[in-house]
Homo-oligomer: A and B are copies of this chain.
Amino acid sequence: MTYTVIAAQFTNHYYKTFDEAREQLRSLYRPHSMLTFESTAVCGEDNILQTTHRIGKVVHTIVTFDAQPCGNDGRILVMVTGHMVIDGSEHPQGFSECFQLIPENGTYYILNDIFKLVYPA
């Protein structure tokens, strides 16, 4: 599979899991994985899951995703932009999120995850 196909599959899987079965995101992270959520940085599956669990019910809509290989060892950088509805709000919120994916035993885990809400200019 090309990195573009992997990035597409990852992106669809990640946001579907976030919206429908958030606890299962745990398998995508490792003890050294990092999440920066709205400029608060945490490390490790437990802290990352706790952070995502504080957010309330979310429905993500992916608008764009772009991917690049990071050198020759199979790592992939993915940047996603989209909208999200939190707790049924009438006002969707723009977001941007980037991930670095690391290959491991035929699959990928998330080493880096930076999430930002994006406000109109």
Chain A interface (Cβ < 8 Å from any Cβ of B): 34, 36, 39, 41, 63-64, 66, 68-71, 77, 79, 81, 83, 91-94, 96, 98, 100, 111-112, 114, 116, 118-121
Extra A-B contacts (6), CB below 8 Å, given A70-B111, A70-B112 = A64-B116, A77-B98, A77-B100, A79-B96, A91-B121, A94-B94
Cβ A66 vs Cβ B114 within 8 A: yes
Number of copies of this kind of chain in the complex? 2
Asked whether A114 and B39 contact (CB < 8 A) given A94-B120, A119-B94, the answer is: no
Chain B: CB-nearest residue to A97: B79
Bound CA–CA A68/B116 (angstroms): 14
Cross-chain contact B70 with A116 (CB below 8 angstroms):
no
